[in-house]
Chain A
Amino acid sequence: MTTKAFLSSVIFAALCSAMVLPTSAQDPATDAPTLTIWWAQWDPAVGLQTLSEDFTKESGIVVKVQQIPWPSYQEQVFLNFGNKTTDFDIVIGDSQWLGRGADKGLYLELTDWIGEAVDLSTIHPLAQRYLMEYPEGSGRYYGAPCETDAIGFVYRKDWFEDPAEKKAFQVKYSRKLAPPDTWQEFRDIAEHFHRPDEKRYGTALLTGRGYDSITMGFQPFLWAWGGAWADPETFEVQGHVNGLGAVAGLEAFIDLLQFTPPGGESSDYFQNLDAFTNGSTAMVLDYFPFYPGIVQNMGDQAGFFVVPRNGDTRAISLGGQGFSVSTKTSAQQQELAKQFIAWFQRTEVQEKWITFPGCFTANTELLQSQAFREAYPFNSTFAESLDHLRDFWNVPVYNELLSASLRNLGEALDKVKTPQEALDQLAMEHELILRGAGLLK
């Protein structure tokens, strides 16, 4: 290629690129009032966009659900809150964000309005507590449920129903092979199906180190064995997060990791999904919105059960996100936002909402309805799970607390520290963070 040809081809390419530029300008402006909602980029957000067409028909307000890739969703939202005005009117945020949003004056307080506009009795009390209220128990609302979510198990129904497996299990454990109710039963089943030589594994739990996976995976054990993140009144952490119950819970958690696929001590939502879809693992823990995909891929081979209990305590990590209205948008837009939120909570709207893949509700009436429970194979398990939800910290410094939890739990799982050492260190760090934030006196 000659010099000239090279130069001219580069210039040609540049010119072509320059010509493309203007075409990618703004969408044609419409006169209709437009409401912008930010959410992470995933199927439920597509459902919300579709659902909102009904709202547009009713009210004439156009709704645009702007979807941000998951890996940087949180960062994008709070960066945007740093602007004088936000690009969104409504943000659909994690339950953890409530404290930060309320405390920093980013979320509009909805307390007075929501009681009148929405029938709160239709919303599951635990969803109210974790997705709406801050501080907990104060009766002040900053959000409304959008995607109510929980973790739950998916299991290989065909393996559980295999007569040979049933017989072998009966012989060894003197008990029928059935979805477990307690963690002790769970351990037996995991042990029974764990056959690394055949590339079959007992279970995959949540242990990933990317963001909150390991903490969500540990919480059911923490609570079920009698531990807690802190005293709910005083925020005292010593003796709670590193108390006897917490340590026993962490030990039980680590004990189960011997039945995971190789690498199971660091496995997040997506890796668990692959571990189940490729047919290697008997019981996998994940969030419910992933299960429509599983049903689509695995059909009848997949069954579902609620996170097991220990003794009398069954505790389940909450997932999901709620609507909050930005304070950094015009009063006019805030009114539109409220209008949309109120509309969304209506039972007939919720009824349609749950027909979209991965979309779940906190509407008590629907949760109890036969139609909901039969719509998808995992729906009744989901409804049952809601009664046992609990959540991580939602104070403004939740991210630092989460980060300390990730690192210390990770070291316990990696056997760098003993459970007691790891939790002692965690308690110390949490104490420092909470003191620094003025929450713990």
Chain B
Amino acid sequence: MPTQGGEITLGRGGENSGGGADADRWLKVGFVAPALLVLISVNIFPLIYSIWLSFTNADLVGGGIRSVGTLNYSFLFFDPRYAQALRTTVLFVALAVGIELVLGYGLALCLRPTFRGKPILLTALLVPMMMPPAVMGVYWTLILNGSFGVLNQALGLLGLPELQWLTDPDLKLVSIILIDVWMWTPFTILISLAGLNAIPASIYEAAAVDRATTWMVFRRITLPMSAPLVGLAALLRATDALKQFDLVMAITGPNDGATQTLSALLYQVMFRDGKVGLASAYSYMVLVVVIALASVFLRYLASLQHRASATEAT
């Protein structure tokens, strides 16, 4: 997916090679090629193969494969599950990533000044991110269980209503978001904190001389200067959240209308119904949308970054 050039200069794109170009050519290839080779053979080649599959009636158990033209793609428009899964996925990504960003950025602001025990606290807060999602999903059902789960018992003790986290059709998705937020807010804390730490102290000193209010400092310096990195965190989280599967599988299974994300639908169509051709077409639609969104987003990030460096320069 080639991008339209120029603006994506995350990193100091230092193409500052010195020395004999000819002698370096093989070396250049030697450095870059292994990574590209691995990616092309393990990711891109299969992807091309699945383009072909998406135009066939391929079945999980093999047998006579024949071309069906664009039938699989036209199916997208008739399958109500696809539209619903798209809605569920967008809702999940928007809410989960939104909450993670706001929470993570807020916590990063709180964690910014040094205080005693900060390294320990920070490390402890990172632990959920290291947990295996497939297992934690199952384990959370113990916490969220409607009748004997510890969360409901605690809520009951506090006189709050006990909610059916795992079974109420309106709450299932909320529970999955809750677990995702628990697992991945540490990631946004980490990246936000890195962004905040990189803002030069001299800028704040200048602001102090100008008697800027706290709000002004935040609005004019802190936020814009950390925005590019936070944006990147958003991008990385969003691409992962778009693929959300493990938690859905553990909490409700792949075929619950209230929580069926695109990945869960893919799984159902491919592995349960055995319709590999159709599933390939579905996954292609997902991929195209994701890459289109990502390239727009990266452009936006690059422009943010330009603004950030402009702020720094003034």
Contact = CB atoms under 8 A, between A and B. Distances in A.
Direct chain A–B contact by Cβ atoms under 8 Å: yes
Given A81-B62, A209-B253, A211-B253, A278 B148 contact: yes
B169 to A, nearest CB: 4
B110 interface: no
A10 to B, nearest CB: 18
Given A209-B256, A262-B152, A105 B147 contact: no
A265 interface: yes
Interface string B128-165: 00000000000000000111100010000000001010
Interface stretch (B3-11, B29-37, B268-276): B268-276
Contacts of A75: 271-272
Contacts of A104: 59, 61, 63
A263 B273 contact: no
Contacts of A78: 60-61, 271, 274
B61 A261 contact: no
Interface string A184-228: 000000000000000101000000111100000000000000000
Most buried by B among A211, A274, A403: A403
A333 interface: no
B61 A262 contact: no
B61 A81 contact: yes
A272 B268 CA distance: 25
A263 B257 contact: no
Nearest to A75: B271
Given A105-B63, A266-B167, A209 B272 contact: no
B53 interface: no
A82 interface: yes
A201 B147 CA distance: 10
A46 interface: no
A278 B146 CA distance: 14
Interface stretch (A51-59, A165-173, A369-377, A407-415): A407-415
Contact of A263 (B62, B63, B146, B249): B146
B247 interface: no
Contacts of A280: 147-148
Given A262-B152, A410-B257, A82 B60 contact: yes
Contacts of B166: 263, 266
B88 interface: no
Contacts of B164: 262-263
Contacts of B249: 71
Contacts of B257: 407, 410-411
A78 B63 CA distance: 12
A399 interface: yes
Contacts of B252: 209-210, 266
Interface of A: 71-72, 74-75, 78-79, 81-83, 100, 104-106, 199, 201, 208-211, 261-267, 271, 274-275, 278, 280, 397, 399-400, 403, 406-407, 410-411, 414, 416
